[in-house]
């Protein structure tokens, strides 16, 4: 479900005001109040940066939020501040484990990045599935076949039909390696 659908279906508190909490010397927490995570992150970012500079490391936990969106946007301000960043988020059970026939894990996106001297920062943003769910949805909307290895149908059989994958399960990237990376959800 995308941002607009989430709003239309009342799955988010559109007028929630994030509450930022200074939890510990290197830990901040943002309570998004049932809203999208983006505003909570934006409001907590100054505290996170301050803690990272003061302690050499810091963490921010955002809870009671929906639809985290692409994670690279959360890493960019950290790298611009000269810091290394790591972001991750769980997701719904949409991914079958390697050799499995039904979804058990989320796509569990992860992003990381670091600044580089005289070059743009190095940033990676990826799902632990063979492709992001949004990419499969785009294929479905356009009627394009998926590449082989992206998903299985509801009977656990390989398919390149995006609608069948959305009703079945996505597959991990790299088989068992993707399972190891994505099995944290």
pLDDT in tens, 17-42: 999 999 999 999 999 999 999 999 99
Reported as type and span, the H/E element at residue 88 is strand 85-88
What does the pLDDT average to over 64-75? Answer: 87
In whole angstroms, what is the distance from residue 119 CA to residue 114 CA? 11
Q: Is the distance from CB of 107 to CB of 184 less than 8 angstroms? A: no
| Residue pLDDT, tens place only, 79-111 | 999 999 999 988 889 999 888 899 998 888 899
Show me where the domains of the chain are located.
Answer: 1-69, 70-177
Q: Over the stretch 135-182, which tens digit does the pLDDT of each residue have?
A: 999 999 999 999 999 999 999 999 999 999 999 999 988 776 666 665
pTM of the prediction?
0.82
CB count within 10 Å of CB 138 equals: 13
Per-residue pLDDT band at 183 (split at 50, 70, 90): low
Fold category of 70-177 in CATH: Ribosomal Protein S8; Chain: A, domain 1 (3.30.1370)
* Closest to 6 in 3D by CA, of 73, 92, 71, 76: 92
Average pLDDT of every residue of the chain: 91
């Amino acid at each position: 479900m995308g941002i607009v659908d989430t709003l239309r279906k009342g799955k988010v508190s559109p007028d929630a005001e994030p509450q930022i909490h200074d939890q510990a010397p290197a830990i901040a927490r943002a309570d998004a109040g049932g809203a999208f995570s983006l505003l909570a992150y934006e409001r907590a970012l100054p505290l996170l940066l301050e803690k990272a500079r003061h302690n050499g490391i810091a963490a921010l936990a955002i809870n009671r939020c929906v639809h985290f969106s692409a994670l690279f946007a959360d890493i960019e301000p950290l790298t611009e501040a000269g810091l290394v960043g790591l972001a991750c988020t769980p997701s719904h059970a949409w991914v079958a484990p390697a050799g499995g026939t039904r979804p058990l894990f989320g796509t569990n996106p992860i992003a990381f990045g670091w600044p580089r001297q005289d070059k743009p920062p190095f940033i990676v943003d990826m799902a632990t599935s063979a492709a992001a769910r949004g990419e499969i949805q785009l294929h479905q909307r356009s009627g394009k076949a998926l590449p082989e290895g992206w998903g299985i149908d509801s009977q656990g059989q390989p398919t390149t039909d995006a609608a069948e994958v959305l009703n079945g399960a996505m597959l991990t990237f790299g088989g068992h390696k993707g399972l190891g990376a994505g099995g944290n959800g």
